Amino acid sequence: MDINIREHIINNFKGDDYDALKSAIEESIKEQDEITLPGMGVFLEIIWNGASDELKDEMINIIKNRVNQGSN
């Protein structure tokens, strides 16, 4: 059985409205469930592929700053 995780995750959220997507993201962060990490990765990939260079720079800076804060 060949499972395409990206396709499965995208299909799982197709048709969801803004509130459903926001809730799914917030719940996965709140629960800190390792199982949701692949889905969050797919969401990041979708955002990244649709982002301008400026938004990509901003996201990298946010990640860099938060990672550096967490290591202190």
pTM above 0.75, yes or no: yes
pLDDT, residue 70, reads: 76
Distance CA 12, CA 15 (A): 9
pLDDT, residue 50, reads: 98
Residue-by-residue pLDDT tens, the chain, 72 positions: 567 999 999 999 999 999 999 999 999 999 998 999 999 999 999 999 999 999 999 999 999 999 999 754
DSSP SS3 for 45: helix
The end-to-end CA distance of the chain, in Å, is 44
